Chain A
C-alpha cells in the first residue's frame, strides 16, 4: 500500500514489494514527485522488499536529477541488508533521512 505524506512531502509504504507490484510502484514513483526538492519515503512499515522493489526505488532516486536525493525514513533491516549486499547502499541519490520528523 502507498499513501501520500504532507509533512515532509513524500510517500509512505506499507506491506510487501516484490515482482507482483514493483513495476506499478516504479511507475507511480516516476509521476508523483514535484520537480524540485528532496522527496521523502517512509518505509518503516515495509515488511518485505525484493531486488525488483529496490530497483524501483533506486531508479526513482536516480531520475530525480543532479543534486537531488530521495530521503528514506525507517529503513527496515531486511531492506538495508538487500541494499548493502547488492551494492545499492551508497548511492549519492539515496539518503537515510535524519530529520526525525515522523511523516504524516
Chain B
C-alpha cells in the first residue's frame, strides 16, 4: 500500500535555514511555485522579512498577502484562527492555498516558546482532516537552540534543509500532538494574591485581583482584560471542576500572571483557539482569555487543570515599579 497516498492533505513542513540569504532561497521558490499555479498565498513573518520577500518577489510581491507575525503571533494561540480563516476563505476560490509562518524566533521567552511549540503541534490536529494546503515554517537554526530545532522535527511531517526535503522520522503523530500539555510549570517566587474560589466568592475575588493587578503596574484596560479573562476561567473551574478552585497572582518586572487551578480536564485541545460560531451554547471563555491576554498556558495533570494568564508590563507601566531610592536606602540599614 502506498503510505504517501494515505498522508493527510495538509502538508506541514519545517524549513531549516541559517541567515537571511538561505531564508530567501528556501521560501521564494515555494512562493513562486504557488504563484505559477495561481494559488492564494499568505506569509506571516516579521516586518523585516516581509520587506525582504517583497524585494525578492519584485513585480509579483503584491500577489501575496502578508501579516506581521510579531503582532498576530504575539500570543501564539491567535495564529491558528488566522490560518483557518485564510484557508476557508480561499480553498474554493483559488486553485490552491499555501502559507509561510515563522512563529518562533530567538527572543521569544521560554513561556512563549513552549506555547509556540504547542501551536506548531496543534496545526497538525486542526488541519488533519481539512482541505489540502501547504504550510512552510521557517526555523533559523543559526539563532535557535538545538532543542528548538529538534522539537520542530517532532511537530512537522516534512523537513526542508540544505540537503533537500524529507519526511521527518521524529514526527510524533497527530494523536500525540493532540494530547494534553502535561509539562509542569515552574513555581513562582512569591505571590501577591492567593485565594480559594467558589461561586459566591467570585465578585470579591475579581475585586482583589483588580486591585493587585493595578498595584503591579497594569493599566485600567489591561486590568479589566485580565479580570474578565480570569473570571471566565474561574467560572469554568467552579461549574466544571467540582465547585471550587484556587486563584493566585504574581508579578515580575516583565509581566503579571494570574493562575487558576481546579479539578477536571479540558477535553478539546483546540478549545482555546476555536473562534466561537453562531452556536449559542458553545463555550467562549477560553477563546476570550486568549484574545484579552498576552499568553495563556493550560496544563492538565493528576486530574487537575492549571491555567495561567499572562499580561505583559508595557514600558510605561514598568516605570511605576522603579524603587524609590529612599526605600532602598532604608532597606540597607536593616
- Complex CA gap A62/B279 in Å reads 13
- Complex CA gap A92/B278 in Å reads 13
Identify the closest chain A residue to B235 (Cβ).
Answer: A19
- Interface bits A30-61 vs B (CB < 8 Å: 1, else 0): 00000000000000000010111001001100
- Complex CA gap A85/B276 in Å reads 9
Identify the closest chain B residue to A48 (Cβ).
Answer: B206
- Complex CA gap A20/B198 in Å reads 10
Interface residues of B in 254-295 (CB under 8 A from A): 275-277, 280, 284-285, 287-288, 291-292
Given the interface pairs A50-B235, A85-B292, the reply to whether A18 lies near B225 with Cβ below 8 Å is no
Does chain A have a CB within 8 A of B231?
Answer: yes
Counting chain A CB atoms within 10 Å of each CB, the highest count among B224, B276, B284 belongs to B284
- Complex CA gap A16/B291 in Å reads 22
Which residues of chain B are within 8 angstroms of A78 by Cβ–Cβ distance?
A: 224, 228
Q: Are A20 and B232 in contact (CB under 8 A)?
A: no
Does chain A have a CB within 8 A of B203?
Answer: yes
Does chain A have a CB within 8 A of B202?
Answer: yes
Does chain A have a CB within 8 A of B321?
Answer: no
Which residues of chain B are within 8 angstroms of A50 by Cβ–Cβ distance?
A: 228, 231-232, 235
- Complex CA gap A85/B287 in Å reads 8
Identify the closest chain B residue to A85 (Cβ).
Answer: B291
Which residues of chain B are within 8 angstroms of A19 by Cβ–Cβ distance?
A: 199, 202, 235, 238-239
Given the interface pairs A81-B224, A81-B292, the reply to whether A51 lies near B200 with Cβ below 8 Å is no
User: Interface of chain B, helix or strand or loop or mixed?
Assistant: helix
Interface residues of B in 277-334 (CB under 8 A from A): 277, 280, 284-285, 287-288, 291-292
In the assembled complex, how far is the CB of residue A29 from the closest CB belonging to chain B, in whole angstroms?
15
CB-contact partner of B284 in A18, A51, A81, under 8 A? A51
User: Interface of chain A, helix or strand or loop or mixed?
Assistant: helix
Given the interface pairs A78-B224, A81-B228, A87-B276, the reply to whether A18 lies near B287 with Cβ below 8 Å is no
Interface residues of B in 30-73 (CB under 8 A from A): none
Identify the closest chain B residue to A84 (Cβ).
Answer: B291
Identify the closest chain A residue to B278 (Cβ).
Answer: A87
In the assembled complex, how far is the CB of residue B183 from the closest CB belonging to chain A, in whole angstroms?
28
- Interface bits B185-222 vs A (CB < 8 Å: 1, else 0): 00000000000000110110010000000000000010
Q: Are A52 and B228 in contact (CB under 8 A)?
A: no
- Interface bits B223-235 vs A (CB < 8 Å: 1, else 0): 0110110011001
- Complex CA gap A77/B292 in Å reads 13
Q: Are B203 and A16 in contact (CB under 8 A)?
A: yes
CB-contact partner of A52 in B235, B275, B291, B292, under 8 A? B235
Given the interface pairs A77-B224, A81-B224, the reply to whether A87 lies near B275 with Cβ below 8 Å is yes
Given the interface pairs A55-B280, A87-B275, the reply to whether A20 lies near B291 with Cβ below 8 Å is no
- Complex CA gap A59/B200 in Å reads 24
Q: 8 closest A-B pairs (Cβ-Cβ)?
A: A85-B291, A86-B284, A19-B235, A51-B284, A78-B224, A85-B288, A87-B276, A50-B231
Residues of A within 8 A of B (CB): 16, 18-20, 48, 50-52, 55, 58-59, 62, 77-78, 81-82, 85-87
Residues of B within 8 A of A (CB): 199-200, 202-203, 206, 221, 224-225, 227-228, 231-232, 235, 238-239, 275-277, 280, 284-285, 287-288, 291-292
Q: Could you give 11 example pairs across A and B, Cβ below 8 Å?
A: A16-B203, A20-B199, A20-B200, A20-B203, A48-B206, A48-B228, A50-B235, A78-B228, A81-B225, A85-B287, A85-B291
